[in-house]
Structure 1
Amino acid sequence: MLEIRMIDKEDLGSVSGFISQMNISEESHIGYCGKDKNEIAKYMVNDISDVKYTDSFVVAYEGNKLVGVLGFDADLDDNSAEIWGPFILREKWNIVYEMWKKMAEMLPKKIDSLEMFPNVKNTRVCQLSSSLSFKKYSDETILIFQGTNSHELKSTSVEELSPEYFVDMVQLHDEAFPNTYYNGQQIIKRLDDHKKVFIITNEGQLCGYIYVEAEPEFGEASIEFFAVEKSERGNGIGAQLLTGALKWLFTFEGMDSITLCVNSANVNAINLYKKVGFEHLHDLYTFTKNIGQK
């Protein structure tokens, strides 16, 4: 007998394992949900914070067997939510609309926009987004740098962001990425031993920056944002920033790989990443939907 209900804490282990198994396959892959069971569980508990995962996820069980998971990660400051899934066994896909309805009832009234980030080969979620009146916002490419190639990185000189460059870094970031998930001030607030901004300067002027996050516990890291001042483009600043950030990230023991996401139309950036040593991993779509005030 099928049961669709809100998640509870006792479900966390089975849910994180289920998402991990589903997200390994490109046919059910969602871009921001991870592939490591323990990392997924840690994220759900610690980082899905504006609305706790126990109030933002639904599960579907057939008897004692977990057959579906669907949830959202809300950003109440931005009035938006990222959709996790749907992760549903292929043979049970017909329950997707029932699960969606249950999850939608849990969305806070403040939420006025939704985002889905499926792999292009995840045709079921791509078709679902269309049937739910989502619009395709962009095509994205995921690239990966394998730790086994880190010895090939050249020496370069970058410096860690200091307070005297906060204003310039925020301005450059917000101009380069005006509608993204972290603005410049949010990045500065996130900085710690595992989250760093590196910069290159010239005679007291900021030339460019790069923001990276390390997850040494799981042997992973990501390059979140980087930008170069227009006047400095073509001078190799981007390659220096990338190389310097990679060299720092690989100082963590057990760092296996580093990923980044770039708009598929940004051919120059993709070529730069590949020149430094990144390889193609996934292609994804970003779908968005304005749901207005309820």
Structure 2
Amino acid sequence: MLEIRVIDKEDVGKVSNFIARLNSSEESHIGYCGKDKEEIAKYMINDISDIKYTDSFVVAYEDNKLVGVLGFDADLEESSVEIWGPFIVPNNWDVVFDMWKKMTDLLPSEIESLEMFPNLKNIQVCQLAKNLSFKKHSDETILIFQRKNGHELKSVSIEELTPEYYLDMMQLHDKAFPGAYYSGQQIIKRLDEHKRVFIITNNGNFCGYIYVEAEPEFGEANIEFFAVEKSDRGTGIGGQLLTGALKWLFTFEDIESVRLCVNSTNGSAITLYKKVGFQHLYDLCAFTKNLEKSC
């Protein structure tokens, strides 16, 4: 007997383990959803905040066995959601449209757009996105730097962002990444002991920045954004920012790897990352869909 319903608190353990298992295979992988069951559970409980997970995730059970999970992480300020899944065991894929209907019924009225980030090898979800009239926005390449290669990093000099350079950093970020999931102002508000912006200046002139997030509890970290002023490109500043950020991230003894995401067509950036020591991990497809609002 098949049951599709909204998740409840008692499901979290099973759901996080289920997502971690399926997300470990590229053929069922969704970007940014994680592969560690404890990290996934913590994120669902603590970080999905605008719409709590008990109002944004649905599960499918067949004969009391979990066979599917689908949900969304809402950003009400941006009127958008990031889709988690669908994660469905192969033999039960036919439940996907019923799950999709159940999930979209939970969407708040103010949501205007949906985003999906399936792995390029996740053929079923890529095809689902097309069937649901999503538009492919871009291909994204995920790169990784392992702690074991940290000894290869050169010594560089970078400095932490200070208030006198807030405006420079915000202007460069918003120009380089218009419409990104964090604006320059939002990044500055996020800064804490695990989230830092580092910069390089030359005779008081702002040259570039890098924003990183460390997650020592889960042994990983991400380079979220970095950019160099147009007049300073080609001078090695990008490599210095990356190297300095990596060195800081690896001061956390529990961090084993650092990841970053770059548009697959940005060959010059990928070349720079690989020159510093990053290695290719996998590729994602970025899909978006604008919702039609009834009058």
TM class, shorter-length: over 0.9
**5+ long unaligned stretches in structure 2:** none
Q: Count how many residue pairs are aligned between Structure 1 and Structure 2.
A: 294
Q: Does 1:106 align with 2:113?
A: no
Q: Name the CA distance, whole Å, in 2 between partners of 1:230 and 1:46.
A: 39
Partner of 1:228: 228
Q: Name the CA distance, whole Å, in 1 between partners of 2:246 and 2:197.
A: 12
Q: Does 1:133 align with 2:146?
A: no
Q: Could you tell me how far 1:204 is from its partner in structure 2? A: 1.4
Q: Name the CA distance, whole Å, in 1 between partners of 2:133 and 2:257.
A: 36
For the 8 Å contact 1:110–1:293, the answer to whether it is kept is no
Q: Name the CA distance, whole Å, in 2 between partners of 1:207 and 1:103.
A: 45
Q: Name the CA distance, whole Å, in 2 between partners of 1:18 and 1:269.
A: 35
Amino acid at match of 2:36: D
Q: What SS does the aligned partner of 2:71 have?
A: strand
1:63-212 matches, within 5 Å, as 63-212=63-212
Partner of 2:293: 293
Q: Name the CA distance, whole Å, in 1 between partners of 2:45 and 2:149.
A: 33
Q: CA RMSD in A?
A: 0.6
Q: Name the CA distance, whole Å, in 2 between partners of 1:280 and 1:237.
A: 22
List per-residue Cα deviations over 1:45-75 (Å, max 9, x = no partner).
Answer: 1111100011000001112211000000000
For the 8 Å contact 1:228–1:238, the answer to whether it is kept is yes
Q: Could you tell me how far 1:293 is from its partner in structure 2? A: 2.8
Q: What SS does the aligned partner of 2:172 have?
A: helix
Q: Name the CA distance, whole Å, in 1 between partners of 2:25 and 2:197.
A: 32
For the 8 Å contact 1:210–1:227, the answer to whether it is kept is yes
Moved over 6 A (4+): none
Partner of 1:19: 19
For the 8 Å contact 1:222–1:259, the answer to whether it is kept is yes
Q: Could you tell me how far 1:26 is from its partner in structure 2? A: 0.2
Q: What SS does the aligned partner of 1:66 have?
A: strand
Percent identity between the two aligned chains? 74
Q: Name the CA distance, whole Å, in 2 between partners of 1:141 and 1:167.
A: 30
Amino acid at match of 1:279: Q
Q: Name the CA distance, whole Å, in 2 between partners of 1:243 and 1:46.
A: 31
List per-residue Cα deviations over 1:203-262 (Å, max 9, x = no partner).
Answer: 111100000000000100000000000000000000000000000000001211110000
For the 8 Å contact 1:9–1:54, the answer to whether it is kept is yes
Q: Could you tell me how far 1:292 is from its partner in structure 2? A: 3.1
**5+ long unaligned stretches in structure 1:** none
Partner of 2:241: 241
For the 8 Å contact 1:111–1:293, the answer to whether it is kept is no
Amino acid at match of 2:19: I
Partner of 1:48: 48
Q: Name the CA distance, whole Å, in 1 between partners of 2:177 and 2:55.
A: 31
Q: Name the CA distance, whole Å, in 1 between partners of 2:169 and 2:54.
A: 36
Q: Name the CA distance, whole Å, in 2 between partners of 1:63 and 1:160.
A: 55
Q: Does 1:277 align with 2:284?
A: no
Q: Name the CA distance, whole Å, in 2 between partners of 1:169 and 1:243.
A: 19
Q: Could you tell me how far 1:99 is from its partner in structure 2? A: 0.1
Amino acid at match of 1:136: K
List per-residue Cα deviations over 1:150-187 (Å, max 9, x = no partner).
Answer: 11111100101111111110000000000110000110
Q: Name the CA distance, whole Å, in 2 between partners of 1:114 and 1:210.
A: 28
Amino acid at match of 2:232: E
Amino acid at match of 1:69: V
Amino acid at match of 1:88: I
Q: What SS does the aligned partner of 1:87 have?
A: strand
TM-score, structure 1 normalization: 0.99
Q: Name the CA distance, whole Å, in 2 between partners of 1:292 and 1:225.
A: 31
